[in-house]
Structure 1
Amino acid sequence: MWAAGMIAVMVGIECMEAGSNTLSKAAMTNGMSDYVFVVYSNSLALLFILPSTLIYHRKRPCPKLTFLIVCRIFIVGLLSCTLQILMYIGIGYSSPTMASAMNSLIPAFTFILALVTRMEKLDLKVQSSQAKSIGTILSITGAYIVVFYQGPPILFSRPLPNLHSFSVSLQSNWIVGGFLLATSSFLISLLYIVQTWIIKDYPAEMVVTLFGCIFVTILSAIVALIVERDPNAWTLKPDVELITIVYSAVFMVSIRSVIYAWVCRIKGPVFVSTFRPLGMAFAVFMGVTFLKDTLHIGSVIGAVIIALGLYAVMWGKANEVQIIEENVISRVDSSSDKVPLLQNKSMEV
């Protein structure tokens, strides 16, 4: 039941991120600055994270915060600031669908980094490792089928004149956007690894998220003040721009960051990354529903393959957990069998 709830939360996070990418593209089309957006969204998120952290740790004292842990959290803030800027600039050059497609690279990047850092073990003779490897490949393949193979249309929709430009971009801009989004995906994978490294030594997700958000706000403000020369860019407009900032601050920066840190500690970075390809299916759904895109057979096939890949990875992880639990139970049983013998011997003496 607890595992099912965790899976449902992760699926919901990916759905919210697909909505965030769509909103950010709409706001950028109306002239919102990428750099100012990162500053405002993280600054506003502090208003939610700070009181939540104080309330949560009012009766649960957090571990002692050392200088070394702060330095590690600064690395998280640096990675988060860089990937957020690259991601939103990449979305501006391309589209939310491209962003979701590049996110499908995150499981592969994370799996490779986890192997390098020895957070994951790969033994192709074991079924769980085979399932995780095949599932990762299937998820990536499904995401790219959605993007690069359309096929015959299934559901026709009349494009909205103002929103149809979301999926239209010059070829050069599309390539630049794809490169920036792929780079941000690699940084996200690296962020998962560093977060897991921190949380294992400092199991306080709220505190890590709070200080990470502080560092992101400071770093992004420095970058925005240097790069953004237009003073009008700092003026908030009471339209889709303000909605996007509030949405990103509450759901993406605050809630998502805490949940990712928590799940990384319990399940590891590879488990978190396996849900990223689901954003591709959500992006297609939102495109058809809200942007009035046409649904093609390739999108359906890709979504099915993504689901199969995710199921394979989840089965592999569940099989690993079951094997570990069985080994622990067998060790406990074997040790308990020896205890009465020792007790009887001591009594005879």
Structure 2
Amino acid sequence: MWSSRLLIIAVLVTIECMEVGLNTLNKAATTRGMSNFVFIFYANALALFFLVPSTFIYHRIRPCRKLKFSIFCRMFLLAILSCSVQILLYIGIECSNPTLASAMTDLVPAFTFLIAVIAGMEKLGLKLKSSLAKSIGTTILIIGALLMTFYRGPPIFLNKSISPKSFHQLHISTKSNWTLGGFLLAAANFLLACLYIVQAWVMNDYPEEFMVTTVTCGLVTIMSAVVGLIAEPNPTSWRLKPDLELITVCYAAIFMIVLRSLVFVWALKKKGPVFVVMVKPLGMIAAVIMGVTFLGDVFHVGNIIGGTIIALGFYCVMWGKAKEEMCVENIGMDSGLATTRVSLLRQSDNA
């Protein structure tokens, strides 16, 4: 049992580091002139190239359920959210850096909790430890996100070749972009929380992972093409250079859109959603290391304070969610035992 659990943890940590690696590659490629709109289109188109034959082969062995129009409409909504998340995420990274992007990803459980409370899907019972933990964790997460967005503080790691005067000028010039990036990343993760809810809605009535992923990816490809042609009308922007740009697109399509989707489905079936997201805060550490090493990012005091607060809030929300799921499981086990006892009593009465 421990070996299988360690295997899942190792795979999830690897995927998390690969996701941070994509953010780092994307930041480097956009710095060299790659358009994020063009990148999103090519990444989804290439992913679709792998998904279509895979889905066809899979459903030749296992027949697929009929796709109803109502389910397709939900997939269309899923595609709108997915396309919006990708656009906001990568533009946010372009304005800030992968470290802030990884930190903001931890806001997803808090946003999911808030949406569930507002929509009436979850009651805010502060007398329950699980609900109280999620409420406190959500507040801590929002405070940490605001701190990372508005306060950077003095630098910790600074390239010796940069003089204090030039660093001050650079800090002033990038401050507004950093704040804008923080808001864009927060908006992306709010929409990502909505995406997870819609995805669960779709999968509940149409549990065909391959078909849902392929159809959604196809719709995102069409949407990103339309948005990209409006945002980047110059044909030269659509020419991928056979260097870092092409590597970033292939990396995103193969490892993130295709491989990550399959790994997440596998891990969710094995251990459930709470276990899958427990490694998310490790992405901040990987982002800091990659950012300082490969991008020459300046690491600030605000990154440490804000990142620590966000990690604390994240695990607080996850603890509340795990506690809640344990209570549900215990209730289910108790009801099962009660049903068994009733049936045994009936059998003894009949005897």
What is the TM-score when the length of structure 2 is the normalising length? 0.82
1:83 CA displacement: 2.1
- In 1, Cα distance between equivalents of 2:58 and 2:117: 34
| 1:51 and 2:59 are equivalent in the alignment | no
Counterpart selection for 1:25 from 27, 39, 53: 27
2:223 corresponds to which residue? Answer: 219
- CA 1:120/1:144 → structure 2, altered by over 3 Å: closer, same or farther? same
How many residues were matched structurally? 344
- After superposition, what is the alpha-carbon deviation per residue over 1:94-119, rounded to whole angstroms, capped at 9, x for unaligned? 33333334434333222111223444
Counterpart selection for 1:39 from 28, 32, 41: 41
1:213 CA displacement: 0.2
Counterpart selection for 1:251 from 251, 255, 262: 255
Instruction: Give the 3-state SS of the residue equivalent to 1:237 in structure 2.
Output: coil
| 1:114 and 2:116 are equivalent in the alignment | yes
Instruction: Give the 3-state SS of the residue equivalent to 1:170 in structure 2.
Output: helix
- In 1, Cα distance between equivalents of 2:56 and 2:247: 26
- After superposition, what is the alpha-carbon deviation per residue over 1:254-282, rounded to whole angstroms, capped at 9, x for unaligned? 233445567778846x8877765554333
Amino acid at match of 1:231: P
Deviates most, 221-230 or 64-73: 221-230
- In 2, Cα distance between equivalents of 1:4 and 1:239: 36
1:229 corresponds to which residue? Answer: 233
Instruction: Give the 3-state SS of the residue equivalent to 1:53 in structure 2.
Output: helix
2:70 corresponds to which residue? Answer: 68
- In 1, Cα distance between equivalents of 2:157 and 2:96: 24
Instruction: Give the 3-state SS of the residue equivalent to 2:242 in structure 1.
Output: coil
Conserved in 1, the CA contact under 8 Å of 2:141 and 2:309? Answer: yes
- CA 1:238/1:159 → structure 2, altered by over 3 Å: closer, same or farther? farther
1:321 corresponds to which residue? Answer: 325
1:78 CA displacement: 1.3
Conserved in 2, the CA contact under 8 Å of 1:62 and 1:204? Answer: yes
- After superposition, what is the alpha-carbon deviation per residue over 1:203-250, rounded to whole angstroms, capped at 9, x for unaligned? 122211111000000111122223312111121111110111011112
Instruction: Give the 3-state SS of the residue equivalent to 1:229 in structure 2.
Output: coil
2:289 corresponds to which residue? Answer: 285
- In 2, Cα distance between equivalents of 1:335 and 1:314: 31
1:125 corresponds to which residue? Answer: 127
- In 2, Cα distance between equivalents of 1:118 and 1:262: 30
- In 1, Cα distance between equivalents of 2:141 and 2:65: 38
Instruction: Give the 3-state SS of the residue equivalent to 1:211 in structure 2.
Output: helix
1:18 CA displacement: 1.9
- In 2, Cα distance between equivalents of 1:9 and 1:138: 29
- CA 1:12/1:311 → structure 2, altered by over 3 Å: closer, same or farther? farther
1:136 corresponds to which residue? Answer: 138
Counterpart selection for 2:177 from 154, 173, 177: 173
1:41 CA displacement: 0.2
Conserved in 2, the CA contact under 8 Å of 1:158 and 1:293? Answer: no
Conserved in 2, the CA contact under 8 Å of 1:107 and 1:276? Answer: no
What is the TM-score when the length of structure 1 is the normalising length? 0.83
1:12 CA displacement: 3.8
- In 2, Cα distance between equivalents of 1:4 and 1:143: 30
Q: CA RMSD in A?
A: 3.5
Amino acid at match of 2:227: V
Instruction: Give the 3-state SS of the residue equivalent to 1:194 in structure 2.
Output: helix
Conserved in 1, the CA contact under 8 Å of 2:110 and 2:134? Answer: no
Gaps of 5+ in 2: none
Conserved in 1, the CA contact under 8 Å of 2:51 and 2:258? Answer: yes
- CA 1:16/1:137 → structure 2, altered by over 3 Å: closer, same or farther? farther
- In 2, Cα distance between equivalents of 1:176 and 1:143: 13
Instruction: Give the 3-state SS of the residue equivalent to 2:48 in structure 1.
Output: helix
1:30 CA displacement: 1.2
- CA 1:311/1:179 → structure 2, altered by over 3 Å: closer, same or farther? closer
Conserved in 2, the CA contact under 8 Å of 1:115 and 1:122? Answer: yes
- In 2, Cα distance between equivalents of 1:295 and 1:173: 16
- After superposition, what is the alpha-carbon deviation per residue over 1:72-108, rounded to whole angstroms, capped at 9, x for unaligned? 1111111111221222223223333333344343332
Gaps of 5+ in 1: none
1:190 CA displacement: 1.2
Instruction: Give the 3-state SS of the residue equivalent to 1:290 in structure 2.
Output: helix
| 1:92 and 2:94 are equivalent in the alignment | yes
- CA 1:112/1:272 → structure 2, altered by over 3 Å: closer, same or farther? farther
Identity %: 53
- CA 1:299/1:91 → structure 2, altered by over 3 Å: closer, same or farther? closer
2:81 corresponds to which residue? Answer: 79
- In 1, Cα distance between equivalents of 2:341 and 2:161: 71
Conserved in 2, the CA contact under 8 Å of 1:104 and 1:280? Answer: no
| 1:194 and 2:198 are equivalent in the alignment | yes
Conserved in 1, the CA contact under 8 Å of 2:106 and 2:314? Answer: no
